[in-house]
Amino acid sequence: MTNECSNSENLFPADNQHEIAEKLEIELNEKNQEISRTNLELNKKNQEILRNNSNLIKENENVLRINNDLKEKLQKIDEQFENLQQDLNLEKQKNKEIQRLEIVSQNLEKNLKILEVDEIDINTINAFKENIEQENCNIDNSPTTFALNDSKSLEKDIVKHIWIVVGLDFGITYSGFSYCHVSDKQNIISNEMWPGIVGLFKTNTVLQYDDEYKNVLCWGAEALRVRPTRKNRKQNSEPVKLFKLCLGDSPSNLKPKLPINYENAITDYLLAIGKFIKETINRIWPGIDYFEDVLLVLTIPAESSEAITIYTQENCNLLQSVTEATTLYCIKNELKYEMGETFIIVDCGKYTIDLTTRKLVKNDPLQLGKFTAHIRDFCGSRLINEEFIKFLRERLGTCAIDKLVENNYDQLQYMAEYIHHRVIEPFTNNDVKYRYELDIEEVAPTLLQYVSEEAREIMEERSWLIEIKYNDVKKMIDTLIDRIIRLINIQFLNNKENCSTIFLTGDFCVNKYLQNRIKEEFSHHVNNISVPACPEAAVARGAVIYGLSMISISTILDDTEFDGLEPDISSKVLKYTYGIQYNRKSGDDITHNGKNCKFKTLVKRGTVITPEQIFSFNFKPESNQTRLSFAIYYTRKYNIEYCDELEMKLLGILNIDLSDVHLDNGSINFELTFGQYEIIASARNENRQEHMTTFCYPDDDF
């Protein structure tokens, strides 16, 4: 043990231990000094940061104070502006009301003087009429106005100061106008020069706003037909379209989701196209006073609600239904028809297909009966665009097209319009070797970056050219044509009389393939299948003809032969019970010995009804049904269960087509409307597809 200790002491001598301790002490002191210096520097930096932070806090407080002061001042300015705006509006309303009251007062004085005359001759009556006309014309310095045709209070006095008549076709997807000088009534001109496009009778019913959707940057074709660029620029504001669908009782699933109020969009569009019409008229006839010498006729759907009528009447002078305007144009262009002839108008629009049956009541002057059958289907040539997009998805991939829709919808729209004008419209079905090469780099360059690697390799080998063949185009078009043919067949089933002519109008009817298919299908049903000149402009030109007729009083529309003859019937008591056949299973016969044809009562005998009163029944068809028939029966019995019982009589049948079976037609609302002279049967599904036909009252229930 002693030896071990001795060896340990030898390993660490005392002197060495002392030196090591001193070195360690020195190193520790140096480290301590270094740490002290570092700590001192950090303290200085910390103090500097604290000073800077304090200064920033003071500056921030100062900025906040300034910002609050500015907000208060801005709020005061806004309040002052609102007060000023309210004062201005009140002043305008006050002046407007004063002006109106002055005019009314002046005319009352004139009319009172007229009424004081003992003997009222024809000149006195004319003076009284002129006073009333002057009152209608002077208010608000607006163009000449007339009462609504549907109200049957249309002015029939000659409007001597009108020189130009303009017909405006305000459509869901496209709009256009035609015009004519009253001294040259045979020369109706349709506008073909639009901002951004030339050579077409219509422009797009579309608006392009700024990023805040406050100001209209462009409208019509310019809002959509922007030539594509290679830049990957995502649109901040999407084009606003289909806003006219919101102006009515359409189901919510058909109304578009708009970034602005639909009334503002409609107003902005009518203002834009109205300004363009004014500029066009002033350019052609420089001496014309637009607000004094021009009559503007606006067309509206025949089934428009009262809200639509009131709203559009605020933006125009004279309203006319689309179907009447179209019929007028077709008949005026072919003056070979005789009194009593019945014809079908097939209007092939972009968004809707409308079929209407009319009868020529009188030829000179032209007199048309009410339409006796009507179908409206929300399909139109947009179905072709949908088929074209399916075609692109098959070639380029669904993901790529979805990204194009999301980020660059304008390029997809441009491509669809491009194909429609270059491929769809001229397609004739005569050349089975037909080929068309679509250059994706030219019409949709942004699409190149969205395709998958696999699709990219294939497309690069083909120089980004997509070949569209005969069968491809035929498949796209047949989807719509087959549907139109089905609807025409239904219309023939619902007609009560044989038709002599089918008129084809609308944007898509210029397609020769459509014309040939319809001639093949229905040439044995009618004597003539006619496409009038410029069918795309039929509505606008018909509106001009209608306006001219109001000036010359050479044409009387609709059932004006009954004007002054219609009894004022406030109510009547039904002598029969009315209802429809309601089968337990689809496909059952109208009558069946097995009592499988249930009778659904809609209104019972003895019910007091008012004119145009509606009785309805709602039900859901079977999922696989593509066609449906409503058999309407009447009987003197009060309670009845089956349609084949004694004393049951068939009033008529309404046939409907369920083309949207793949979209789920949803429930169908069937209605019986008891009018003054006829019973109207109509059906509408949740997709807004409509069918209507009319029946005469039973002889002893009229």
Single-letter residue type at 579: G
Phi first, then psi: what are they for 628, rounded to 5°? Answer: -145, 145
Phi first, then psi: what are they for 327, rounded to 5°? Answer: -60, -45
* Residues in CB range of 206: below 8 A, 6 or more apart: 219, 220, 223, 224, 239, 240, 241
Q: Do domains 341-531 and 572-701 have the same CATH topology?
A: no
Please state the pTM of the whole predicted model: 0.69
Q: Which tokens go with 149? A: 């045709």
Asked if 205 and 172 touch (Cβ cutoff 8 Å), the reply is: yes
Single-letter residue type at 187: N
Superfamily of domain 341-531: ATPase, nucleotide binding domain (3.30.420.40)
pLDDT tens-digit readout, 617-650: 888 887 777 888 899 999 998 888 888 888 889 9
498: left (phi over 0), alpha (psi -120 to 50) or beta: beta
pLDDT recorded at residue 676: 81
H-run or E-run covering 129? helix 122-138
149-329 is a CATH 1.10.3470 domain:
no
What angle, rounded to 10 degrees, do the helices at 409-419 and 398-407 form? 110
Residue 269's closest CA among 197, 196, 175? 175
pLDDT recorded at residue 362: 74
Please classify residue 493 by burial: count the beta carbons closer than 10 Å to its beta carbon, then call 0-12 exposed, 13-18 middle and 19+ buried: middle
Domain boundaries, the chain: 14-114, 149-329, 341-531, 572-701
pLDDT recorded at residue 122: 41
pLDDT recorded at residue 206: 93
List 615's β-bridge partners, or say none. Answer: 672
Residues (pLDDT < 70) of the chain are: 1-15, 78, 81-83, 85-94, 96-97, 99-160, 225-237, 248-251, 253-254, 302-320, 335-337, 363-366, 552-570, 583-596, 659-665, 701-702
Q: Which tokens go with 76? A: 């005061």
Residue 481's closest CA among 506, 438, 517? 517
Residue 525's closest CA among 561, 498, 552, 550? 498
Concatenated DSSP letters of 373-413: EEEEES-TTHHHHHHHHHHHHHHH-HHHHHHHHHH-HHHHH
pLDDT tens-digit readout, 39-52: 888 888 888 898 88
Polymer length in residues for the chain: 702
572-701 is a CATH 3.40.640.10 domain:
no
H-run or E-run covering 270? helix 262-284
pLDDT recorded at residue 192: 94
